[in-house]
Amino acid sequence: MAHLYYDDKIIPPETSKPGSADSFTEPGEYDRGVTDTSRFAALSGRVWQLMQRERALLISLSKFLVVGGTGVLVNSLTLFLLFQWTHVSLVVASILAAELAIGNNFWWNDRWTFKRTQLSWRRFAQFNLVSLVGLVLTTGTLWVLVHYLGLYYLAANLVGIALAAIWGFAANSLWTWGGAR
């Protein structure tokens, strides 16, 4: 097998002898060099094939996460304003902030991520139901992390949102939008 060295010079095996000027080994040692194919290239090829096969899913997931990012901003800003400025209780502020973010996320996911042109109250109800579970995850996580672990409430809120996002993409892509890619 030919070897590829640091200067990109390919040396046929019959000219590369241990101990010679073009070999890095001592006489009597086996010279492996660097082969022109590698495990990394094979792995990256498999990853590329998987990405091509699941491209539609990856695009939907990417859009879902971007929309979720806007929802995080809506949720966090609303939570901050309600809790910090208007002194609404933390749990009530979290619920209101989450519901506002849910409306934002449904609109953008329905139009952009899953490319629906007609508003559907059924889809909105399904999205809200899935999001209700996410709301319980977010608010429960927030409450536990703040009250039992003393974590700062905005950081705890982000942890809750991350857990809810995993649940939300799986349930919504399979149920609300029926496996739409």
CA atoms within a 13 Å half-sphere pointing along the CA-CB vector of 28: 0
Mean pLDDT per block of 10 residues along the chain (181 residues) reads 50 54 54 55 71 80 91 94 95 91 93 90 93 90 95 93 88 83 44
Closest CA to 180 of 134, 142, 123: 123
Please return the burial class of 159, using the count of CB atoms within 10 Å of its CB with bins 0-12, 13-18 and 19+: middle
pLDDT reported for residue 36: 45
Q: What is the pLDDT of residue 5?
A: 47
* Residue in 52, 53, 47, 94 with CA at minimum distance from that of residue 75: 94
Alpha-carbon dihedral 34, 37, 39, 42, rounded to 10 degrees: 170
Q: What is the pLDDT of residue 6?
A: 46
CA distance 122 to 116: 13
pLDDT reported for residue 78: 97
Closest by CA to 159, choosing from 131, 127, 137, is 137
pLDDT of residue 58: 83
| Distance, CA of 110 to CA of 145 (rounded, Å) | 32
179: left (phi over 0), alpha (psi -120 to 50) or beta: left
